Copies of this chain bind each other. A is one copy, B any other.
Amino acid sequence: MNAVLTPKDFATSQEVRWCPGCGDYAILKAVQKALADVGATPESTAFISGIGCASRFPYYVNSYGFHTIHGRAPALATGLKLANPDLDVWVVTGDGDGLSIGGNHLLHALRRNVDINILLFNNEIYGLTKGQYSPTSRVGTRSPSSPAGSLDTPVSPGQFVLGAGGHFFARAIDTDKAGMSHVLEAVHAHTGTAFVEIFQNCIVYNENVFADFTDRRNAANTQLHLRHGEPMLFGDGKGIRFNPTTYSLDVVDADDDVLVHDETNAVIARLLIDLKMPVALGILFRQPVAGYSARFYAEHPTRFERTKSVADYLAGPNPWVVE
């Protein structure tokens, strides 16, 4: 823990290779700032990524970094975390890397609750391969591989995470500095798998796909910033209420009894995930429980310390001696 580090200390000499104007730049800045703010150190931090524009991330952070193969970062990060539970292990992935080819590893990292921080840059497109639709692309997305519009119903990252048994789901917008740092600090503090969906603007292949709620000019009415224990208010005098007859969330006037955000409530979290307008941001769901890599050692009698030598084991149960 080294409080004097600044965001600059987490920058590398490498030239950043994203398209000019890509949302990834803002995310990079926010992460570097958060690392400094939480007092992380480069040597005890590792960024593991798959393949994609998002996955270029590790090259630009002064820490240990591994740009692995497509979709496998959570599995590799699990092994790294088991090898060295003291590391801060961050996984950076994209909507294709994480939810298309990598879905199975995300599922199992989440249900095991491995102590890693997963940042999914969701731009609803395959950027690096030049713009095909992705598993989060909306129905009807026209792309080189879906010239007539895509058929597939997109997967909801939030519903997927909770369905997989995840204990932490948060959301932030690439360029929203405050929202990003609020979420990233919570991620760093969380035990177990923390998962963040970051709405990231791909200006080349999917420009402004999130503009309806990310546009600053109308943010107050389109964004619901959640804070645990605080009422769900947004816009001028609007709020969210649970409707027990329809089992859904209604937008109501602030004075009607508005829901107070309880981030441990999975029922409400799932309704918030599906809320179309306003879009729920911040920590939608959080239930800290002991993580897998911690338990892996804690629950093992010798914590895998070498307390005996192979020499003691060679003979087995029934040896015999020949003179």
Contacts and interface: CB of A to CB of B under 8 A. Distances in A.
B165 A164 contact: no
Nearest to A295: B151
Given A148-B301, A159-B163, A163-B162, A111 B154 contact: yes
A217 interface: no
Nearest to A99: B107
A113 B113 CA distance: 28
Contacts of A271: 267
A208 interface: no
Contact of A153 (B111, B270, B296): B111
Given A100-B108, A151-B292, A155-B165, 17 more contacts: A101-B104, A103-B104, A104-B104, A108-B135, A108-B155, A111-B153, A112-B153, A148-B301, A151-B299, A159-B163, A161-B163, A163-B163, A244-B244, A247-B267, A247-B268, A266-B270, A270-B270
Interface in A197-228: none
Interface of A: 100-104, 107-108, 111-113, 135, 148, 151-156, 159-165, 242, 244, 247-248, 265-268, 270-271, 292, 295-296, 299-301
A237 to B, nearest CB: 25
24 contacts: A100-B108, A103-B103, A103-B107, A107-B160, A108-B135, A111-B135, A111-B152, A111-B154, A112-B152, A112-B153, A113-B153, A148-B299, A148-B300, A148-B301, A151-B299, A156-B165, A159-B162, A161-B163, A163-B163, A163-B164, A247-B268, A248-B267, A266-B270, A270-B270
